[in-house]
Structure 1
């Protein structure tokens, strides 16, 4: 998730006062905030060559980080709001997507330092969306509420969406797509271990709710350890180590996007399974506080991990399709072709130069750089697919409590 939407939040409050409480109840203001935060810069339609489009249509596209479930938007229908919805997934030929829940984000957040005690943007957004009281008061309930939205989409469009929990379920979707289906495999995750509400038992609750990936931190320090943007810059706490150990036992994927350098070092020292950085950039090409050093990238990739390259300004500096391709090229030069992936952060309160329906322009920019078809296939999805087929749980899917409630 990107920069603060404090000003938009204040604007929404003014708008509520102007149009009345009824607008708040209907979600008009929530839609206003969504539209204001998830922006695609205006541009002429990208000209894609027929050869590029043919190649793109043969690819298996996968992405490590999308926050669309946060907004309460109807993603069954195509919209001009935000970056993604079901029809735009199909247009972009996306087959595998990790959907992350966002449960807390400090007001006035910045990339340098934030307090965990700062007022919370997500509480305001939840009120605008009329979340139930349990979701307003418990972060774990917010994660499960957003997970239920994907299960509801699956129930509404069972031929187009499958919530995936295991290697076997992912392979079934891939087989269906190989036979002409446009079904999307959706994997659930959450952005920041504060979604546990400080209770180790909630690892099991989130797992049973369908989540298979968890970021350890977001924009502030939490009970698990220090954030890249927090005050302490500390490593894993004893509680954080306990959580990581349990995640490994349950074959959940550890995501260290937003984690402090000390946390990343601690996680690499104790884990036996590869980890991911779901959405990031590299300081070597875009020197911002948000991004990883070359040394961190090498350490994560050496352990079989994935580096998801983001599309917004603090990750790529240049958000044009060419600029994003530049970041991918640099990451490949550091980590190797098999460790670099897409980490768009679409609908993560960011501005991008293309939406999910326009992924072919990125394929075209990589071709211009001289990437081979196999290299493009790796970055655009095969690396993620291989990682998930090796690291999702092997057993039968957990009791789908959330799915059965929809």
Structure 2
């Protein structure tokens, strides 16, 4: 009889190992999928061009998952070795703090949360289990820890000077990669504008006001009410611009985006998504919204997944890029992969040369390709990161 407690304990231990050890990897492996697409044949001229680019991607959700950025993973789409193989100069890492159950593009409530269980299953610090602010601060710690352990290969970008130093250093060492912190939805403010300064102090330099549900800052394109900016939202926008935090309108409701366009004084970005003209999904931007963002001096980041560009080929991405170029000019479009954001893509970040080749094949000139692949993002960041 005395054996039963030991057996029961063993079963519980095995169950815990399965939950905490296996479940997080299984969940991620089922969500961040690379399903090889039809990639273009790479020419030698394109290889030389790609090696000379300063590539910048405005959106990856890698910090949400239990992986070490410094190790090449067998799952997901981004880590330092693959960023280096893809010749990425700057990766913007977003902090995802809450997602609704049954997440969809049409209408979501903010009453449920998938991320809480994930924080427990990943054995994150208990402070992150019931605080969205602490989840973002933990993501900041993850990036800074990786940078400190990288031997200088990964550098956290906070200022225009940091960015310039990185690009200068890359002239003699192309393996150097910059990482910048962003936020996907300012529900992590927990209703307190003072928390924006805490996030800024932790290194966050970009933020989307809403994610998949309406919050107390702004309505979401996928929320239930899809309202505009709240009174707190107007305060947050002004404070972000004063601090030197780039305002990201991705996922903002059409009403919120109209409010933002009316009062913004600095360049705006839509960090990841598509355009309705080439992929008519409500997640994507209308031509009028694209024009409005361009008028601020900002840009549109084009994603790589089906709902963004209605396909998973590099040619689908380039079709959306070409539309923005035709509508508002080449200076207002860039890359916004949404890698590791529970999306299926046709390539990972080590294979970004496929986009370069697709741009070449579509007749883009070399100076245009340099802007799309990173030059435009770097220009907007230099303007947006400087405090007012």
Per-residue CA shift, 1:304-327, capped at 9, x if unaligned? 011000111110111111111111
Deviation at 1:281, TM superposition (A): 0.4
Tell me the SS of whatever aligns to 1:20: helix
The residue aligned with 2:184 is 191
* Structure 1 residue runs of 4 or more that deviate by more than 2 Å after TM superposition: 16-19, 23-26, 42-47
What TM-score, normalized by structure 1, do the two folds share?
A: 0.90
* Preserved contact between residue 165 and residue 393 of structure 1 (Cα < 8 Å): no
* Preserved contact between residue 95 and residue 184 of structure 1 (Cα < 8 Å): yes
Per-residue CA shift, 1:158-200, capped at 9, x if unaligned? 3211101111111000100012242111110110010101111
Deviation at 1:77, TM superposition (A): 1.7
The residue aligned with 2:47 is 53
Return the index of the structure with the highest Cα Rg.
Answer: 2
The residue aligned with 1:297 is 290
1:150 equivalenced with 2:138 (yes/no): no
Following the alignment from structure 2 to structure 1, what is the Cα–Cα distance between the partners of residues 221 and 360?
A: 34
The residue aligned with 1:111 is 105
2:17 pairs, out of 22, 32, 40, with 22
Per-residue CA shift, 1:211-252, capped at 9, x if unaligned? 011110000000012110011121111011111111111111
The residue aligned with 2:84 is 90
The residue aligned with 1:378 is 371
* Preserved contact between residue 167 and residue 394 of structure 1 (Cα < 8 Å): no
The residue aligned with 1:3 is none
1:177 pairs, out of 163, 170, 178, with 170
Per-residue CA shift, 1:323-368, capped at 9, x if unaligned? 1111111121122100000000000000000110000011001101
1:205 equivalenced with 2:198 (yes/no): yes
Deviation at 1:65, TM superposition (A): 0.3
Deviation at 1:43, TM superposition (A): 5.2
How many residues matched?
378
Question: Which ranges of structure 2 fall in alignment gaps of 5 or more residues?
Answer: 1-10
Tell me the SS of whatever aligns to 1:254: strand
The residue aligned with 2:252 is 259
Correspondences of 1:207-286 after superposition (within 5 Å) = 207-286=200-279
Deviation at 1:24, TM superposition (A): 2.4
1:70 equivalenced with 2:29 (yes/no): no
* Preserved contact between residue 39 and residue 354 of structure 2 (Cα < 8 Å): no
* Preserved contact between residue 40 and residue 357 of structure 2 (Cα < 8 Å): no
* Preserved contact between residue 168 and residue 394 of structure 1 (Cα < 8 Å): no
1:320 pairs, out of 309, 313, 318, with 313
* Preserved contact between residue 272 and residue 336 of structure 2 (Cα < 8 Å): yes
The residue aligned with 1:330 is 323
Q: 1:43 to 1:221 in 2, by over 3 A?
A: closer
Following the alignment from structure 1 to structure 2, what is the Cα–Cα distance between the partners of residues 149 and 333?
A: 40
What TM-score, normalized by structure 2, do the two folds share?
A: 0.94
* Preserved contact between residue 166 and residue 394 of structure 1 (Cα < 8 Å): no
Following the alignment from structure 1 to structure 2, what is the Cα–Cα distance between the partners of residues 61 and 102?
A: 23
Following the alignment from structure 2 to structure 1, what is the Cα–Cα distance between the partners of residues 80 and 345?
A: 19
Question: Which ranges of structure 1 fall in alignment gaps of 5 or more residues?
Answer: 1-15, 396-406
Following the alignment from structure 1 to structure 2, what is the Cα–Cα distance between the partners of residues 267 and 259?
A: 9
Q: 1:43 to 1:391 in 2, by over 3 A?
A: closer
The residue aligned with 1:398 is none
Correspondences of 1:28-39 after superposition (within 5 Å) = 28-39=22-33
The residue aligned with 1:349 is 342
Provide the alpha-carbon RMSD of the alignment: 1.7
* Preserved contact between residue 68 and residue 146 of structure 2 (Cα < 8 Å): no
**Structure 1 range deviating more: 54-63 or 126-135:** 126-135
Per-residue CA shift, 1:251-309, capped at 9, x if unaligned? 11111100011111111111211111100100011001110101100111111011000
